A = this chain, B = another copy of it.
Amino acid sequence: IRVSLPAVCIVWQISMIILFGIFIRYDAESDAHWLEKKPKNISAIENDFYFRYPSFQDVHVMVFVGFGFLMTFLKRYSFGGVGFNFLIAAFGLQWALLMQGWFHHLGDDGKISINVYSMINADFCVAGCLIAYGALLGKVSPVQLMVLTLFGVTLFAVEEYIILNLIYAKDAGGSMVIHTFGAYYGLAISWMLYRPNLDQSSRLQGSVYHSDVFAMIGTLFLWMFWPSFNSAITEHGDGQHRAAINTYLSLASTVLTAVAVSSVFQKHGKLDMVHIQNATLAGGVAVGTAAEFMLMPYGSLIVGFCCGILSTLGYIYITPFLEKHLKIQDTCGIHNLHAMPGVIGGIVGAITAAAASESVYGTEGLTPQGGHQAGALCVALCFGIGGGILVGAILRLPIWGDPADDNCFDDESYWEVPEEEESIPAVMQ
């Protein structure tokens, strides 16, 4: 079994090279002929690179540092949190370029043209799988994560194609396409992989002081760069501008209500780091679909307000309920951070879209329809739950080297962990 991780990595990477060789090419704006072919009166600054590259880098930071460090909060699973996140994101983005390319960017010559826009979309696609990882953190092997990512990206690309190209819904920030799908995908897998004796490793399920501070690095980079996430692939100009403003406001509002609810429900009014690390981000998820619409600044604040409350209550009441009664073990609480806010985001998007009028958007503006948005939400839910059950069934096969119940949440299983008992006293004396 220990040979499977190297084998999977090498074989899949070689497959990627072959498929890239056959299919993937530079698009017109990243090809060396661009200077010749572009209209002469267009400046080089009009290359899409300059519109989107800063947003791409912010999204990139969210995917690798944001998700990665958010998952370092466990006392002895920080290596696995940040390290496996790194591994599956690096694999997933290659597969996403292919899958999304076949559906969206396949030219008449059978080639996929990639550019900065494709890179953002590949990172988005990977984000869906990393959300699913959050539910499974500490309970699966790296090979299982690779399989989860392979199927997750595949399902994502199909779901995204249906939502954007068949239903003609809009979802710039991915409340439905990324968050709803990713969260239900992960929760369904976790349900399939239910471990009744997980309390055998309960000693490792908490955090230590400094692991909570590491997790705040993830939280803050997610929080700060979410305006870039929601505006990265919106229309040039006012679209990107508006999406950034809406997300900025929604997130600010979420922080206050998350703090308030956390304090109300704890003994002595103390704050819980789990809520601050996670629930403060719910506003960014929920404003994803509607970020580019004319949601209005106060609308963004309202969305953030509700999600901060709901997400924190979810950590207090729903996560224990899911574990006890529905047999869904959700390590990071992605149901509260991604699933519920994602669904709310889809609904907010549908309402905002249904209320769209020409006087608000202008003749050249967006004119989506509420029904399409609602349909898209259903598609995301079905793909998430259905796909998760399917992939969960595959991951239950006893061939993947997943840890025993009393070895969960322990880096020792998959990492060379430095010995501490001898060295620290030596240093301190």
Instruction: Name A's B-contacting residues (CB within 8 A).
Output: 2-3, 5-7, 9-10, 12-14, 16-18, 20-21, 24-26, 29-36, 38, 43-51, 53-55, 57-58, 60-61, 64-65, 68-69, 72, 75-76, 78-79, 82-83, 86-87, 90-91, 93-94, 114-116, 119, 142, 203-204, 206-214, 216-217, 220-221, 223-225, 227-228, 236-238, 240-242, 244-245, 248-249, 251-257, 259-261, 263-264, 266, 268-273, 276, 280, 294, 296-298, 301-302, 305, 360-366, 414-421, 423-424, 426-429
Q: Are B420 and A209 in contact (CB under 8 A)?
A: yes
Q: Are A298 and B51 in contact (CB under 8 A)?
A: no
Nearest B-chain residue to A411, judged by Cβ: B209
CB distance from A36 to the nearest CB of B (A): 5
Once bound together, how far apart are the Cα atoms of A116 and B247, in whole Å? 12
Residues of B contacting A206 with CB < 8 Å?
Answer: 418-419, 423
Q: Are B82 and A244 in contact (CB under 8 A)?
A: no
Known: A45-B51, A58-B57, A208-B420. A17 touches B302 (CB 8 A): yes
Residues of B contacting A415 with CB < 8 Å?
Answer: 270-273
CB distance from A219 to the nearest CB of B (A): 8
Q: Are B50 and A53 in contact (CB under 8 A)?
A: no
Q: List 22 A-B contacts (CB under 8 A).
A: A2-B269, A6-B261, A20-B249, A20-B301, A25-B297, A32-B362, A33-B361, A33-B365, A34-B237, A35-B237, A45-B236, A49-B240, A50-B51, A53-B240, A57-B227, A76-B209, A83-B216, A90-B251, A94-B252, A94-B301, A142-B259, A206-B418
Q: Are B32 and A260 in contact (CB under 8 A)?
A: no
Nearest B-chain residue to A76, judged by Cβ: B427
Q: Are A297 and B20 in contact (CB under 8 A)?
A: yes
CB distance from A22 to the nearest CB of B (A): 8
Once bound together, how far apart are the Cα atoms of A212 and B213, in whole Å? 12
CB distance from A404 to the nearest CB of B (A): 14
Interface majority SS (helix, strand, loop, mixed), chain A = helix
Q: Are A245 and B45 in contact (CB under 8 A)?
A: no
Once bound together, how far apart are the Cα atoms of A151 and B217, in whole Å? 29
Q: Are A83 and B276 in contact (CB under 8 A)?
A: yes
Known: A94-B301, A114-B297, A424-B208. A260 touches B5 (CB 8 A): yes
- Excluding A93-B252, A204-B427, 19 further A-B contacts by CB distance (< 8 Å) are A2-B269, A6-B260, A20-B249, A25-B296, A29-B238, A30-B242, A43-B43, A76-B209, A82-B216, A82-B220, A83-B271, A83-B273, A90-B280, A94-B252, A116-B245, A209-B420, A210-B214, A213-B214, A420-B428
Question: Contacting A26 at CB < 8 Å: which of B78, B245, B423?
Answer: B245
Q: Are B5 and A115 in contact (CB under 8 A)?
A: no
Q: Are A79 and B212 in contact (CB under 8 A)?
A: yes
Q: Are B10 and A241 in contact (CB under 8 A)?
A: no
Q: Are A297 and B418 in contact (CB under 8 A)?
A: no
Residues of B contacting A61 with CB < 8 Å?
Answer: 224
Q: Are A24 and B298 in contact (CB under 8 A)?
A: yes
Residues of B contacting A213 with CB < 8 Å?
Answer: 72, 78-79, 82, 214
Q: Are B416 and A421 in contact (CB under 8 A)?
A: no
Once bound together, how far apart are the Cα atoms of A49 and B227, in whole Å? 12
Once bound together, how far apart are the Cα atoms of A7 and B254, in whole Å? 15
CB distance from A104 to the nearest CB of B (A): 16
Residues of B contacting A31 with CB < 8 Å?
Answer: 238, 242, 294
Q: Are A86 and B280 in contact (CB under 8 A)?
A: yes
Nearest B-chain residue to A11, judged by Cβ: B260
Q: Are A90 and B5 in contact (CB under 8 A)?
A: no
Nearest B-chain residue to A257, judged by Cβ: B13
Once bound together, how far apart are the Cα atoms of A60 and B245, in whole Å? 13
Once bound together, how far apart are the Cα atoms of A420 and B210, in whole Å? 11
Residues of B contacting A426 with CB < 8 Å?
Answer: 203
Q: Are B271 and A416 in contact (CB under 8 A)?
A: yes
Once bound together, how far apart are the Cα atoms of A416 and B287, in whole Å? 30
Residues of B contacting A44 with CB < 8 Å?
Answer: 51, 236-237
Question: Contacting A264 at CB < 8 Å: which of B6, B363, B364?
Answer: B6
Q: Are A24 and B114 in contact (CB under 8 A)?
A: no
